[in-house]
Amino acid sequence: MSTFKHWRSGTAGLMALGITVGAVAPMTVPAPSFAQVSAFADVPANYWATPFITELASRNIIAGFPDNSFRPEEPVTRAQFAAMVSRAFPRAGQRPAVQFTDVPSNFWGAAAIQQAYTTGFLAGYPGNRFEPNQNIPREQVLVSLANGLNYTATTDVNSVLGQFYADANAISGYARAPIAAATERRIVVNYPNVQFLNPTRTATRADVAAFIYQALASAGQVAAVNSPYIVGQAQQPTAPTTVTIPSGTSLPVRYDQAERILVTREETAPLTLTVAQNIITRDGTVLIPSGSQVVGELRPAEGGSQFVARELVLASGQRYQFNATSEVITRTERVRRGANAGRIVRNAALGAAAAAAISAVTGDRAIATEEVLGGAGVGALLGLFLGRDSVDLVAIDPDTDLQLTLASDLVLTPNATTQQ
């Protein structure tokens, strides 16, 4: 939870990012089109489906939960989809209603199911069943939209599917023609890889929001969104600009090698963190790809320890001088004489001085070198702690303590940005 709180504070900074233009004397454009702020606590500004979700929520086509969440990765049932599609496309019925045997009149979604059925968006199963609580696959959502909106493919179905989907053979026979028609209308949105439809995968709330939004956009009812995940959409070329991420922006990072880090208050220990999420613009341009490395070190600071970044290494291998810091961590863990060293160091990364302190105080000289961050050798530091009954070490939780704030503007050059 703490990590997410840090990230939410960071998205506000990303909203204010400026784009600088020019090679010699860049000037700042004050209002770039970065990802819009979501109304939901669990849909960050850089989430791939934020533009779709935010607009549909503003039109009351989709809604969140009482805790201000949207739960974009949750599966969608057939009843839930019926409710969404009925709100998105209110229209007169085209066929008589039926009474499904598994949809009692007092079922919460009974009216929406009847609306979706009579308007041609959804049908039942043999035995007059609707299966309202069954999760709906992605291909079934697309078939529903294509059928309900009367889409028809204008070119050869297999050619369309083969052109756009690497997994075209996985599309069910009944779904091939409707999905080809939906593809021609730019209804299909595939995340994380635009070339893979994953037709039988259960549709998430984010998936359905994106499909419905695109259907509305195809009908001219909402503005078009430029997203790298819309199948067949011609992406806008990236302009030859320089992008500036301003001082004060928070960046989400993670450290995967250990669940906690122990250092002494006095030591400096090298540390490399990983960028936890893509930092992107609204049009899908990746400024800092997830997985990029932040190289720096833990340094003594105000009675504790602080991570100070010095270099950003993008996934492409490009390097930038990087001035960012974490908050000062002052929380400590006391190691006492006779304590079990194995238990102390389990799932922990250690500064060399911290490793020496644990070894000296507990009497355990067998701390593995792979547990120790670079720096001075453990053996050379043992003498500093021999004879002590206890030692206090700074205890760092990487998930909550090492989120970074830029201490100065970070300027990225054009060839550092790519389309997601």
Nearest alpha-carbon partner for 140 in 61, 202, 229, 67 = 202
User: Given this model, what pLDDT does residue 235 score?
Assistant: 55
The pTM (predicted TM-score) of the whole model is 0.52
User: Given this model, what pLDDT does residue 373 score?
Assistant: 59
pLDDT in tens, the chain (420 residues): 333 333 333 332 232 232 222 222 222 222 222 334 457 889 998 899 999 999 999 988 898 888 999 999 999 999 999 999 999 999 888 899 999 999 999 999 999 999 999 999 999 999 999 999 999 999 999 999 999 999 999 999 999 999 999 999 999 999 999 999 999 999 999 998 999 999 999 999 999 999 999 999 999 999 998 888 999 986 555 454 678 888 888 889 999 888 989 888 888 888 899 998 888 766 667 788 888 899 999 999 988 999 999 999 887 778 888 899 999 999 998 888 877 777 887 888 888 888 878 877 776 655 544 456 554 444 444 444 445 678 888 999 998 999 999 999 888 874 444 434
- Measured CA to CA, the distance from residue 395 to residue 198 in angstroms comes to 43
Tell the residue number behind the tokens 């002494």, with chain if given: 264
C-alpha distances (whole Å) from 325 to each of 48, 247, 406 are: 27, 11, 7
Q: Check whether the bond before 51 is cis (ω within 30° of 0).
A: no
**In sequence order, which residues have a C-beta less than 8 Å from that of residue 356 and are 6 or more positions away?**
378, 379, 380, 381, 382, 384, 385
User: Given this model, what pLDDT does residue 13 score?
Assistant: 29
Q: How many CA atoms lie within 13 A of 403 on its CB side?
A: 19
- Measured CA to CA, the distance from residue 59 to residue 65 in angstroms comes to 16
> Percent helix, strand, coil in the chain (nearest 5)?
30, 20, 50
**In sequence order, which residues have a C-beta less than 8 Å from that of residue 346 and are 6 or more positions away?**
none
User: Given this model, what pLDDT does residue 7 score?
Assistant: 32
- Measured CA to CA, the distance from residue 411 to residue 407 in angstroms comes to 13
